[in-house]
Amino acid sequence: MKQASADLDVALPQADRPAWPVRVLLGTWLLVLLTWLGVISLTWNFIAFLLKFVLHGATARRVGRAGIAYGYRFYWACARASGLMRLEAESLDVLRALPGGIIIAANHPSLLDALMIIARLPRSACVMKGALMRNPFLGAGAGLAGYVVNDSTRTMIRTSTERLREGCQLVVFPEGTRSPAPGQIHPFSRSIALIAQRAQAPIQAVVIETDSPYLGKGWPLWKLPPVPIVFRARLGECFAPEADAERLSARMEEYFRRELRP
């Protein structure tokens, strides 16, 4: 399988557009991978729904986070073996041994970003939109894991602070939405700096690099991008909490713009 993946990398460089029969085959294979992700998510959500009746509090959140992390890690192993996707985030593994709570702040070029980071960090929880809590693919699992809803800024900051004080690694995207294009970012929200200030937790920057538009802003699920699809996550600067949240947010935004500059 590794040889097949390597052969595909050589046969399909990013700049070349394959003939239409090959595109149909690859597009179908990509949809199979997405369906497999849906199967994994639905299966874990059913298990999480049942676990909510027997697990509570910090124990439920610990089990819920680990279940999501290892489920996504299994998916990325399958995706890599297929030859269509390479998600390189092993550099994040050093964070697993860090004691205490920490904020993981990343740029957001694709819908895959949270899945890629969470897969490496079994103690992690996401800040997510309230609508996703009602999603059958995510809701029960996210609820069991104690993910944070961002519908209300005040509630989000309070809940995030509680999670960090429990020792959670909180995954956030300071842009608040997907980036406009690979290598570009939206202005950062200061709410991340406010959470760090309230919880007295450091902010670890994670820089996600890609030249693929796949599942970025406006990219439909069924559209085949250039393959292989490659995303790399690397550790960046670690920011200490500051009394001036505006200043810290501006520093972080400038740092990411500099790191993503060609």
Q: What confidence tens digit (pLDDT) does each residue in 58-101 have?
A: 999 999 999 999 999 999 999 999 888 888 999 999 999 898 89
Residues 6 or more apart whose CB falls under 8 angstroms from that of 26 comprise 12, 18, 84, 224, 227
| Burial of 214: CB neighbours in 10 Å, binned 0-12, 13-18, 19+ | buried
47 Cβ partners below 8 Å, 6+ apart?
A: 67
**pTM, entire model:** 0.88
The radius of gyration computed from the CA coordinates of the chain, to the nearest angstrom, equals: 19
CA nearest to 84, candidates 39, 30, 131, 23: 30
- Residue 104's beta-bridge partner residues? 171, 204
Q: What angle do CA 260, 236, 157 make, to 5 degrees?
A: 100
Report residue 12 CA to chain centroid gap.
26
pLDDT in tens, the chain (262 residues): 334 333 334 334 444 566 767 777 888 888 899 899 999 999 999 999 999 999 999 999 999 999 999 999 999 999 999 888 888 999 999 999 898 899 999 999 999 999 999 999 999 999 998 887 888 888 999 999 999 998 889 999 999 999 999 999 999 999 999 999 888 999 999 999 999 999 999 999 999 999 888 889 888 877 888 888 899 999 999 999 999 999 999 999 999 999 998 8
Alpha helices (runs of H) in 200-244, residue ranges in sequence order: none
By DSSP bridging, strand 203-209 and strand 229-239 are: antiparallel
* Residue linked to tokens 């989000």: 156
CB 175 within 8 A of CB 108: yes
